[in-house]
Each structure stands twice: as C-alpha cells, then as structure tokens.
Structure 1
Amino acid sequence: MGSAHSREAITHEREEVDFLISTSNGSGRAHETLKHDDAFAVIDTHGDIGAFGDRGDGFFFSDTRYLSRLELLVARNAPLLLGSTLDATDLQLCADLTNPDVYADGALQLRKDAIHIYRTSYVRDGAIRQRLHLTNHSNDDLELTVSLVFDCDFSDIFEVRGMRREKRGTVARHIQSSQSVIYAYKGLDDVIRRTAVHLEPEPISLTETAALYCLHLPPKHSAKIYFTAAAEAGHAHPSCSYVKGLRDAHRTLRRAEHETTEVSVSNPELDAVLKRAASDLRLLTTNTEDGPYPYAGTPWYSTTFGRDALITALQVMWLDPAMARGVLRRLARFQAQSHDADADAQPGKILHEMRGGEMAALREIPFGRYYGSVDSTPLFVLVAGAYLQTTGDSDFLVEIWPAVLRALDWIDGPGDPDGDGFVEYARETKSGLSNQGWKDSHDAIFHRDGSLAQGPIAIVEVQAYVYAAKVAAARMAYELGELARAENLLRQAETLRVKFERDFWCEDIGCYALALDGEKKRVDVRSSNSAHLLFTGIAEPQRAARIAQQVLSAHFFSGWGIRTIATSETRYNPMSYHNGSVWPHDNAMIAAGFSHYGLNDLIQPIFDGLLDAAQEMDQRRLPELFCGFRRRAGRAPILYPVACAPQAWASGSMLHILGSLLGLSIDAKSRTITLKSPRLPASIGAISIRRLRAGGGSADFILRRKYETVIADVTDSRGGAKVIMA
C-alpha cells in the first residue's frame, strides 16, 4: 500500500510540476516589486534588471516580460550599493550607489566614493521610468563614462517561472532615433508586442542594446539621465517626463487615501505595519474597466484571481467597500456561461484565474480563463451579501443579482454532481489543478495515514461558505422582494447545517474533518480549515469553542501564527506550502471566526504573533506565507523561499484581524457602526478611525482603554451615522 501511495504522489507531482516556481537567481541581490495597474517590475536593490543572470527580474505587462535587462555601469564597472529602500507609498525604489576603485593599466583612475548616484525607479501607465542623479563629490574635474545596457526577450510569465517551450516567436530590434530603440516580438499567437526605450539627454552612442554617456563633472556638480521603457499595450508615452509621471502618481495616491477609511494607532510599530499593509493593497489594486480589483500578488500572481480577490475584498470591506464592488462586477462579467472541460468550467461558476500572455492564448497552459476553484462561487455570493449589508447599494444588487442566481444554480447543480448536498470538486482536465480549495497543492488533502484523498472531494470550509452564501442570498432576496426565494434559501441553509454537523464532525480528533473523499469517507486530519470556517457561523457554539482552543495549542500555534495543519499529522512539514506553514490570511479568517462566536479574547495571540512576525520582515510586510517552525527567543520567523510579497490577502490580514478585535459590524440601512465586546490589546494602544462609512453616513471616532473596558469618543458624524457599543 505504501508504494502505491508513493507512485500516486509522484504522478501528481509530474502532472503539476510545470506550474511550480523556480527559486534560481544569479546575483544574490535583494529584489523589490513596483506595480501600477497591469504593469509591474521585479527590480534588484541597485535598480538593475537581469544583472548577473537574475532570471526572474523584468518589467512585465499582461503576463509578458517587456524588459529583460537593464544594467548600469559607471566607468565600465558595476556601482557599489550604499543603501536602497522602497518608499512608504510603494511608488518608488530609491537606491544610493557609488563607484568602486577604477584602475586602468595598473594605475588608479577613479577613487572609490568619488561619485554619488541617486537612482530612482517607478512604474506608471505601462512604463518603467528611471532617473540617475550623479554628483561628483571629489575635488577633481571628472570625465565620467556612464553606460546603460538593456534588452527585451518578451518571455511569457510562465517561461520566466521555469517552463520550457519548444518554439518561440521572433524578436526584432530597431534604432528609431538617436534617443530611442524599438523592440518588436511576433509571437506564435500572431500578436505583435512592442517595447519603446527612450533616453534623455541624447547619449553620445546608442546601439540596439546599450547607450553610452560621457559626462563632464566639475567638483560638486551633478548630471541627470532619464530612462524609460514602455510597453506598447500600456498606452504609455515615453516622452512623458519623469517628474510629471511621479507627480501624477502622488496625486492619484492622495485622492485614493481620501476616499478610503483612515486608521491610525498610537503604537508606532503597529502603525507602521498597518500603513505598509494599506500601501501594499493600493499597489496591488488595479483599475480595471469594472472598477478597482486587487491582483493576487507579485511577481507570479499579478493578475485577476477569483478566490484571492474575494477574500481580500471581504477582509477590507469595512475600510473600502468599493473594492468589493469592483471585484464582484468583474467576476460577474467573466462568470462561466457554458461547460468547458479544458478550463474546468461549468455554467455559473466563478473564475479562478485569468492570464493574458502568449502561452495562455495558445493554450500551452490552461489558465487563459480557468475556473478550477471550488470555493470562488460560494464566496462570490457571500461577498455580494456582505457588500449590500455594508453599503445598502441596492442598485448594484439589481445589477449583479442574475450572476448571484447563476452562482446558486451552480452550487445546487454542477457543484454537487451526486446530489448529496455537499459541493465537491474533481478536475476535468489533467493540466488543471488536482486540488481546488485554497490549499491547492497536490498533497494538501490527505488521510490520517498520509495517503492522498481521492475525489470527488468535498472540502470542509467550502460547505461553510455555501451555508453563509445561502443565508446572504436570502437577505438579498428579501431586499428585492423575492420572499418565497428567501425563505427557501434559509431552509436550504439550515438543512445543510444539520447535515454538515452530522457528516463532518470527528469526535476523536475534536474538530471537523478536513474533507469527505470520493467514497464519502472522512479525511480525519486536524487542519486550520476547521477553524477557518467559523466566521460563517455554521458550527455549533460548543464545537466552535473546542476548535478555537485546539488551534491555539502548541500543535497548531507556532508563536508567530496558526499552522495550516497540526504538528501531530503525518504530512506535517513546517517548510511545506500547505502542510504546516503559517498563512496570514488563514489566521485572519480564523480570528474573524473567533469574533463571530464572541471569543474576542482569543484573538490577541494571533494578532500579537503576526504583528511580531511583520516587524521581523523586510519592509514590515507580511508575505503570502512563512515556515511553521516553533518560535524561538531571539530568532525571526523562517521565510518560505518563493512566497509572494506583497500579496493581497496577506496585506489585508492585519486590517481584517483589527476589525475582528473590535467586534466591528456595519449596517447600512440603519447607518449603524457596532462595536461588540471590542478588545484593545496593549500592542494597539489607542486607535483613531476616520471616515468609516455606514450606508450614506460616516463617522470619526477614537477608541481607548479605560481600566478593563474600551471607550469610544465619537469626534464627528455625518449623514446620520451612529457608533454604538454592544
């Protein structure tokens, strides 16, 4: 039996190996990500791209790399890094560089630290722009050569991730003028993609892949060089000045900040973590034709994902409900209309992932429009209901109600093919994902003995999502006057709740089964999924309390956060993707569940653990996940090598947990903001919340601790908004 299971695991690994992410890099330099809408750049801390063979670097647009190399040489040498930082707004990467000692014919020609280079970069309107500000700090007149080396390979994002292709299109390079070069790629999909490179001022020499400057710099004098690479599809204007583009970016940022709720806390460490999270969410949010949409994460998931965006929208619903509207509208537009086995699509199903590159167009990968997630559809309905409750936007409900009804039809139809009342998944295409819940790695769903569960699989949290979706749909139906439908949906939800308690609860392990396999056998593994589902309200209160205590035990809680499975389980591995790691968004959903059951006191360990972890991370940014090793004194969390950072639902996690700690709920109809048994740990101090909306009103208030209670001081109220403590 053991060898059979091994062969099965190997088969799964071979089927999905092409979608794994390579960790190989060349230079060992640290990297940062810059993004605006559909364009992003992975750039090293020197400001270079692809230097020393860093294969994952690049400037990307719509899943294609439009710039694969950009390297600065000063006096024919790579400059030395003095320091580099991503500014607090995520708009610019700022690098301070200097020259090394430069020798010619054995003689010192340029002494180290003579030149300071301030190199700044940002992405805007489908282009990456750089400014070089070079200052001579020596006492000598200098004739300084400066070179910029650049190139484009137009690799698909999946090629960059490590997939190999037998054939590719062709790249043509053309010097358009003394200051510009055009690159054109004719893909196998017959689409021509172009990059326009522009330099200012005019270099003394320009080839298809390099520009050379010879700068005369008297002592204490400076010179500037500007570089732009624009993706043609981005409608960028290469001649747009660096300063104007940056000014426009800051103006847009200030407008966005004013339109969302502002949160500040007296603890400066926490305030910095929350500000970074908010900045990262703005960075990842793309202005689509449907409205603002949070792309899942950079670099590999900077595109439309269903599950990720829905959970992110739910996390920050209290802060920015406009994000949920954009997510719902976009996913409604791309909702599956017909059956397509190659895309794991059935009518009414909500999108999992959408890609725009050459390989997706040619179906070399299945993700052009791919529907292989079992939870996106009930989450869509759930988020629609939460949006209505928060905003009272009945006009938008009317707009998306047909999509909600189609989603419900999928839940009761193709989503439940055997009619047993549980939504389950089994992929229809071998190139698709074998597991289609949020833990979608091939080995994430396994029995107690370690054997992989065989489908169709009914995953535990999905049934809870369906329960919450039907309750939410009932509220929406009442709003629209469809009373009979509303009553029927509530009956369906109660029937599911009773059946769920009977079929999923495992008394011997003290929690719900991770899943039911294809033979309806319980997958009796202790997992975070059981606590993740609590926010839906499907669990009996006594069982919810038992699960809460279990996931805060040493088997689950690492000191930094709750692991995805208990250390006692056969496949536990703290370095794995889904079998023992810590995911911030998972912890945030669990905390929301604690709040739902009035277990607010149990949220603080999660909040404090993740806060401590964030302060140990680069940029105080929580990544997609990190390893589940036990916390040890004096040691930081162990990073997972290829975790995305930033990632949307990781960025939203601390904001989500904060709302849970406060017991915050919003009712748009009564314009009431309710704080139910709020908690303010010492790690928060006082908290100020401005422009928190409730329907057509909004309020500003400050929360402080007074002895063992929390008091609220409402400083302003508009449109009849009320803040109440319960």
Structure 2
Amino acid sequence: MTAWNADAETTITEAGSVILVEGSSFCISSRSGDIRPDGETNGAFFQDTRILSRWELNINGFPREPLAAQRPDAFEATFVGRAKWPDGRFDSPLVVRQQRHVGPGLQDDITLENFSAEPVDCSIELLVDADQADLFDVKGGRPNRHSALTRSVRGNELVVEAVSDGQRRGSAIRAAGAEVSEYALRFHPTIPARGKWSTSVIVVPLVNRVSPDETFTEAGKPRLRTGVKRHRAWEKSVPPITLGESSVEATLRWSQRDLGSLRIFDPGHPERVAVAAGAPWFMALFGRDALLSSYMALLIDPDLASGTLQTLADIQGTKVDHDSEEEPGRIPHEVRLGVTPGLSRSGKAYYGTVDATPLFVGVLGELSRWGLSEDIIEALLPHADRALDWIQDYGDRDGDGFVEYRRATDHGLANQGWKDSWDGINFADGTIAEAPIALCEVQGYVYSAYLARAGIARAAGERKTEQHWAARAAVLKEEFNKRFWLPDKGYFAIALDRDKKPVDSCASNMGHCLWTGIVDEEKAPSVVRRLMSREMFTGWGIRTLASDMVAYNPVSYHNGSVWPHDTALAATGIMRYGFVDEAKKVARGVLEAAAHFDGQLPELFCGFDRSEFHAPVSYPTACAPQAWAAATPVQLMRILLRFDPDLTRDVVHLAPILPEEFGDFKAEDVKLAGSRITLSAKGSEGSIEGLPADLKLLKEPRPPLDTQLGGQSGD
C-alpha cells in the first residue's frame, strides 16, 4: 500500500501517542503534549521534514503530570496537566492547559492557572530542538544524514537550521516574553492568586530561509486559517448520515472525519482536492491509495475522485527514467516534498507501481457513470489513453497480454502491487516469487480499464472505439481464467512468476478479481467459498493469506493480517456475483471490528480468528487515520444499499439488503451529476428524493457482470 521495503520498516509509534494532521503537516507527541528526543518517531513535520524533534515543558523543575489529552479536531489538541508547586509537593493547585494547532508550522497556547489563595513565582522551561531530519530517515529509525545543525538566537527567536542536498531547512521558534537560548525558552512569571499566566509558542518552518504562506502568528486566530476553513466547509458539505445502529453510524462519522483530515490540496490548483494515504508516515499523495480510497468514498464526495484524477494526470509519466521508474503514461506511486527524494532518487515522484495506471482509467470510467462533468472527462481522456498505452508498451513486458512488474533499480520497491512488502508474494510452500510478476488483481484492474474506456466511448457514440476496448477486455478475461485458475485448488493463483508459473498461495487478492468482474461466473462460487473459509475469514475480515499457507503469520504486514479496504473490495466482489448472505456477513464483521477501535478503523489489524480473542488485535505500526481504511465503511454501506448510478444509461440502481438491526438509514445531500439527492433505506426497501427527472430509479441490483468497477448484484 505504501513505500514499504525491507530497509525502510517503520519504528513503532509510542503507545498512546496523540497524532494531529492538517494537509501534509502532522505532529506526533506523547499524551502530555511533550515531544521527547528518546521517542524516535515523535515530532512535528512540515513538507516531510521534522521541524520539531524536542518539545519538553518543565515547570518548577519538573515535568507535568498529564491529566487529559483531547482532540476535538484532526488538527487541534488540548492537553491538561498538573504542575508541581515550587517546593515540589504533589497536591498542587497549578493546572496547565496547552492548546496545540498544527498546519504550516505549529502553535501552542500555554496557560498556567493558579487555583491557590496566594500568588506563586514559577520557573518555566521549554526545552526545544529541531533536527530537520527527513521523514524517511525518521520513519526508518536512521540517524540524520545532513550536515550539523546550526543554532542561533536572533532577537526573540531561536533559529535551528541544517543543509542537506543543497537545501536549507530550518525552524524559527519564538514566544512573547521568553528568555531565548540555543536549547530552550524560559519564563519566570508570578501568577496571582486565583489568576492565570499565558503565552503562545510559535514554530515557523523555513525552506531556504523562506517561511510558508499563512504561518501562525501571535495576532492571528488559528481557527480562521485556510486549512481550518476547508475542514469546516468539508464538514458542512458531506452528506449527513443517520442510522438506527448507533455504533455503525459513529463509524461512518469517523470515516467522514478522517477522510476530511487526510485531504491535500495542490497549491497551483487549490480547487482540486486529493487524499493522502495515511497518518502519520504517509501524509503524501500515493497513486494507488488515492484512487482506491476516492473510489470507495464516492458516496461521501465524488470530488475526491475527480480531484485525485486531475492531480495525478498533471504528474503522469512523460519519459523513461530508471531512477524514478518513470515511463510515458505511467501514474506515480508516491509524491514527496522533503529534501530526500525517497525512492525516486532523482525527483519528488516515484513511479514504481504496477496498478495505479489501470486504476486511473477504471476510476475515470466509474466517475463517468456518476455523471462527472463532460468537460473534466474530456480533459482527462487523453491521460487515460496514455495510461492505456503504458499498459501495452511498458506494463505488458513480454507481449503475453498480462501486465507484469520488475523494478528498474535496486532502490525501488521489489513488489509493486498493493502488497508491496518484500515477502508479500509467495507460493503455498512459502517460497518467494521472483520477478517479473503478473499479479491476479492487476489483470482485473486492466480488464476494468479496458471496459471503462469502452463505456466512455459508448456514451460518446464512438462505436469503433467501444468495440476495440470491449474486445481487448474479452480476450484478457478468457486468458486470465485459463492461466491463473488452479482447478485442483478451486481458486486463482495470486500471480504468475518470472517463468509464468502460477504462484499457488491462497490470498485475498482474488477478491479484487471478483470486484472487477474478470472472474468467469462458473468459477465464482468456488472462489467465494474459499474466501469465506475458516482459513481466510476471521470473523472480523478476510486474511491477506490463508492460515494453511506456509508463510502465514497473523501478525505479519501482508501474510495473514486483515486489511479493511482489502476485505471491503472482496465483499464488493462477493456481492457482485450474487452472494448476498456472504457479503453481508463480511460487511458486518468489519463494521463490528470497527466498534472495537472506537469506530476508527486502522490501516490493518492482526489476522487472529474471532474465536481466539474478544476483540481484533491491533497491528503495532498501523496508520490511523488511513485513507482506504476510512473509506471502507462507506464502501460497505454502498454495497449493502446496492446503490449504483449509471448515468451513461440514465438509470440509478437501489436495492438495499440492510441487516435488520441497522434500522433506518438516511444519507442527505449525496452528490450525483450536479444534483443533491437523499437516500433512504430500511431492510430491503429504499427510496431516493431529488433524483433528476431524466434519470430512472431501478429498484433492482445492477446486473452481476455489468462493466466497470462498481458492479454489484445479488438476488
């Protein structure tokens, strides 16, 4: 899912950490609000650089006793603690409130309140440092690779800078009334009886000694910043969703909140919005993650998908570059802002992904069904055609009709599908597959891309183009079902290896093949049985690898864990082929798992069976919030509603199969073709208010093998 390689595993974030996010900026601190230098992954980050690596507040020579840490918004936290009296006694009437905002820098509003009947002289020391470490180095637990830090006191500011790869990064730290030294800000207030003392500590990031726009200031109001206004506008624009089952409703609200907090904006096109992969380590644009997440979030806001497509189109590959693995027409894997280019080595974008390019075309096709503006489709269509050219000219390396990957450089990702850990693709006996590798789900994505292009051509009246791509899809489907099917096992191989040998492990990837519709209808029952078997379905979700495989490990990243988005796409495929009860069982399992995470699904969790533990077991380095985990409940509700617009045919399908305990469902102001509609459902009954007069409501599921990504069915 992300830039995860054998030499770049993430150190574990401290238990109980408080994570704040706004755009690509984020902050990780302890529950007290402190950022301790012994916490390797703690810090405040701006443009992939750590602008604060130490932030320890001591009062009267002692750290605070933490009482509460509250996060009313993704970008804001309030920390409450108790300070010791100057004589060191514990039962102190000194209370510390610290309100933190993150954005283009950081602001901490610190208030010390004296609840005693006598004034008190306090000594306050804020120990600070800013190592300017690149995010990749912090994430990997590696020491800094830049030149030595320089510290200078300039007036009332401490400026900490470093130079790396010709770029100067720095932090300017200040607070009114502070005594500033090279390592600390100090205050010596007298706090009156029943009185307060306050200050604002501000950190401004510097890139080549230039500060970003709209930094925090003493006179400014943090809640009036552009980033906060965007967040508030999002809260007002997303569909209000109500549901009789309160825990599922809470999960859906978490989804909306997390997706809103993960949105990122192109400064050159502020009207476009894309979605970052996840906090804390992947607050950047990842092609595959953004495309899948925005697809699954269509019910919430189709603009996420259109903005993602537009943003990715602007950085689509134009040349061959082995260092970055860029190729003409290829959609990038990730885009970074830091000094260190990361996996690219030669720029800010790294293109080493095999699936983002076909997904780009498939999502465009799905948006055309949702009534995306013809002007936007027309502008994106040349990019879709270049993506299709990449599939033929570069993706299909040996001309056999399948898309394979093999990294072009030894610093690139060894595996370039969504299971991109070094050991993510293996045989049933545990042997690691060798590249070039053709993944089963990637062939499904390509199949959907061909059909998506055919559908766009059909809507435009381009009969010849439609027939061309429909024929390409038919050939691919036939060959896929011949070459990837394992008749003795009753499921699809996860891949073909370098010798075109089927990689015979039983993995969740074949669920994506159901989602895309590339599976022959007569093979679907066997695939569904395997996905729903005890070896695959834990009760909370579908394992990435079956428990009877040699490489199975329930606490691995990709070899036995449960990824909510992976399970949701498999559930969509299961529903698509008409297995209603099975799809409902999977959806309910994931939503029940979410309740054990207080409604906020993490990136992944361990693959233990539900009978072993009363709750799903957390995976230690899972991102939360994380984009496709946040979008998962939205997608699950969509398949339970069996809500499928197809404006290219002037119809909208709605055939709900909601569990009885869900009660009444209602989603207001859902965006569809420039209109706002209201979806209502209970059990097997559903209705739509505000549907444009030229659209026909069909209270039946979409045909099971209808084209493109969103196909759902069930009787």
TM-score normalised by L of structure 2? 0.92
Q: How does 1:467-486 map to 2 (within 5 A)?
A: 467-486=447-466
Does residue 668 of the first structure (1) align with residue 647 of the second (2)?
yes
Task: For residue 447 of structure 1, give the secondary structure of its aligned residue in structure 2.
Answer: coil
Quote the Cα distance in structure 1 between the aligned partners of 2:438 and 2:167.
41
Change (3 A) 1:43 1:435: same
Q: Which residue of 1 aligns with 2:406?
A: 426
Bigger CA drift: 647-656 or 590-599?
590-599
Distance in 2 (alpha carbons) for counterparts of 1:665 and 1:264? 20
| Alignment equivalent of 1:350, drawn from 320, 327, 331 | 331
Q: 1:96 aligns with which of 65, 71, 80?
A: 80
Q: Does 2:281 align with 1:300?
A: yes
- Alignment root-mean-square deviation, CA: 2.3
Q: Which residue of 2 aligns with 1:155?
A: 133
The separation in 2 between residues aligned to 1:16 and 1:250, in whole angstroms, is: 34
Does structure 2 conserve the Cα–Cα contact (< 8 Å) formed by 1:114 and 1:138? yes
8 Å Cα contact 1:135-1:223 kept in structure 2 = yes
Match of 2:305 in 1: 324
One-letter amino acid of the counterpart of residue 257, structure 2: S
Taking a change above 3 Å as real, the CA distance of residues 256 and 723 of structure 1, as seen in their structure-2 partners, is: farther
Given the alignment of the two structures, is residue 185 of structure 1 paired with residue 170 of structure 2, yes or no?
A: no
- The answer to which of 74-83 and 538-547 deviates more is 538-547
Please give the secondary structure, in 2, of the residue aligned with 1:541. Answer: coil
SS of structure 1 residue aligned to 2:123: strand
Q: Which amino acid aligns with 1:218?
A: P
Partner SS, residue 555 of structure 2: coil
Residues of 1 paired with 2:151 and 2:647: CA distance? 57
Q: Which residue of 1 is the match for residue 262 of structure 2?
A: 284
Looking at structure 2, the residues matched to 64 and 156 of structure 1 have their Cα atoms a distance apart, in angstroms, of 5
Deviation at 1:164, TM superposition (A): 4.0
Structure 2 residue 510 is the aligned partner of structure 1 residue 530: yes
Q: Are the counterparts in 2 of residues 514 and 526 from structure 1 also a CA contact under 8 Å?
A: yes
* Within-5 A mapping of 1:572-611: 572-611=552-591
Cα distance, 1:491 vs. partner? 0.4
One-letter amino acid of the structure 1 residue matched with residue 311 of structure 2:
R
Which of 181, 195, 201 in structure 2 is aligned with 1:207?
181
- Equivalent residue letter for 1:280: D
Q: Which runs of 5+ in 2 are unaligned?
A: 701-715
Give the Cα–Cα distance (whole angstroms) in 2 for the partners of residues 16 and 141 of structure 1.
Answer: 57
Are 2:640 and 1:693 aligned? no
Aligned pairs for 1:635-654 (under 5 A) are 635-654=614-633
Question: Structure 2: how far apart are the matches of 1:158 and 1:669?
Answer: 44
Opposite residue 99 of structure 1, the aligned amino acid is A
Match of 1:36 among 22, 27, 51: 22
The residue that corresponds to 2:707 in the other structure is none
Find 1:173's aligned residue among 151, 156, 160. Answer: 151
| Residue equivalent to 1:625 | 604
Greater Cα shift, 648-657 or 539-548: 539-548
Retained in 2: the 8 A contact 1:99–1:113?
Answer: yes
* Whole-angstrom distance in 2 between the partners of 1:425 and 1:352: 13
Match of 1:55 among 40, 45, 66: 40
The correspondence of residues 2-21 of structure 1 with structure 2, limited to 5 A, is: 16-21=5-10
Give the alignment partner of residue 710 of structure 1, picking from 673, 685, 697.
Answer: 685
Counterpart-to-counterpart distance in 2, 1:661 and 1:416: 36
Q: 1:208 to 1:29 in 2, by over 3 A?
A: farther
Amino acid at match of 1:97: G
TM-superposed CA distance for 1:244, in Å, is 4.2
SS of match in other structure, 1:531: helix
Contact 1:667 1:695 in 2 (8 A): no
Q: Residue 310 of structure 1: which of 280, 291, 294 is its match?
A: 291
* Matched residue type, 1:325: S
Match of 1:413 in 2: 393
Once residues 671 and 491 of structure 1 are traced to their aligned partners in structure 2, the CA distance between those partners, rounded to angstroms, is 24
Contact 1:563 1:628 survives alignment (8 Å): yes
Structure 2 distance, partners of 1:248, 1:530, is 43
Q: Which residue matches 1:230?
A: 204
Asked if the contact 2:27–2:42 (Cα under 8 Å) also holds between the matched residues in 1, the reply is yes
Take 1:267 and 1:91, find their aligned partners in 2: how far apart are those partners?
29
In the alignment, is residue 217 of structure 1 matched against residue 191 of structure 2?
yes
The equivalent residue for 1:549 is 529
Counterpart Cα distance in 1 of 2:229 and 2:205: 23
Shift of 1:111: 4.1
Separation in 2 of the partners of 1:366 and 1:457? 25
What CA distance in whole angstroms lies between the structure 2 residues aligned with 1:299 and 1:470? Answer: 35
Kindly tell me: are residues 365 and 16 of structure 1, through their superposed partners in 2, closer, same or farther at Cα, counting changes over 3 Å?
Answer: farther
Cα 1:686–1:364, aligned 2, differ >3 Å: closer, same or farther?
Answer: closer
Among all aligned residue pairs of Structure 1 and Structure 2, give the percentage whose two residues are the same amino acid: 32
2:32 is aligned, of 46, 51, 56, to 46
Instruction: Please state if 1:77 is matched with 2:59.
Output: no
Change (3 A) 1:724 1:491: closer
In structure 1, how many angstroms separate the alpha carbons of the residues matched to 2:218 and 2:673? 41
Q: Return the alpha-carbon distance in structure 1 between the equivalents of residues 599 and 92 of structure 2.
A: 31
Give the Cα separation in 2 of the matches to 1:595 and 1:241.
55
Paired with 2:467 and 2:654, the residues of 1 have a C-alpha distance of: 29
Deviation at 1:374, TM superposition (A): 0.7
Moved more, 714-723 or 217-226: 714-723
Q: In structure 1, the residue corresponding to 2:285 is in which secondary structure?
A: coil
Secondary structure, aligned partner of 1:700: strand
Does structure 1 conserve the Cα–Cα contact (< 8 Å) formed by 2:641 and 2:681? Answer: no
Does the 8 Å CA contact 2:37/2:54 hold for their aligned counterparts? no
Q: Which residue identity does 1:181 align to in structure 2?
A: L
CA positional deviation for 1:261:
2.7
For residues 384 and 366 of structure 1, what CA distance do their matches in structure 2 show? 29
| CA distance 1:313–1:616, change in 2 (3 Å) | same
Give the 3-state SS of the residue equivalent to 1:148 in structure 2.
Answer: strand
Moved more, 629-638 or 38-47: 629-638
Shift of 1:496: 0.7
Measured after TM superposition, the shift of residue 546 of structure 1 is 2.2
Task: Select the residue among 113, 126, 131 that pairs with 1:135.
Answer: 113
Aligned residues: 690
Q: CA deviation at 1:383?
A: 0.6
The whole-number CA distance in structure 1 between the counterparts of 2:649 and 2:639 is 21
SS of the counterpart of 2:63?
A: coil
2: CA distance, partners of 1:687 / 1:170:
58
Whole-Å Cα distance in 1 between the matches of residues 236 and 693 of structure 2? 17
Residues 390-427 of structure 1 show CA distances to partners (whole Å, capped at 9, x for unaligned) of 12311111111111111101111211121111111111
**What is the aligned partner in structure 2 of residue 11 from structure 1?**
none
Q: Which moved more, 1:414-423 or 1:685-694?
A: 685-694
Which of residues 61, 68, 72 is equivalent to 2:53? 68
Trace 1:454-473 onto structure 2 (pairs within 5 A): 454-473=434-453
Q: SS where residue 252 of structure 2 aligns?
A: helix
Cα distance in 1 for partners of 2:340, 2:468 equals 45
Letter of the 1:456 counterpart: P
Q: Using the TM superposition, name which of 311-320 and 265-274 deviates more.
A: 265-274
Kept in 1, the 8 Å contact 2:24–2:46? The answer is yes
What is the Cα deviation at residue 671 of structure 1?
6.2
Q: Secondary structure at the match of 2:173?
A: strand
Residue type matched to 1:254 in 2? R
Verify: 1:400 aligned to 2:380, yes or no: yes
C-alpha separation between the residues in 2 aligned to 1:348 and 1:715? 41
Give 1:114's aligned residue.
Answer: 93
What TM-score do the two structures reach when normalised by structure 1? 0.90
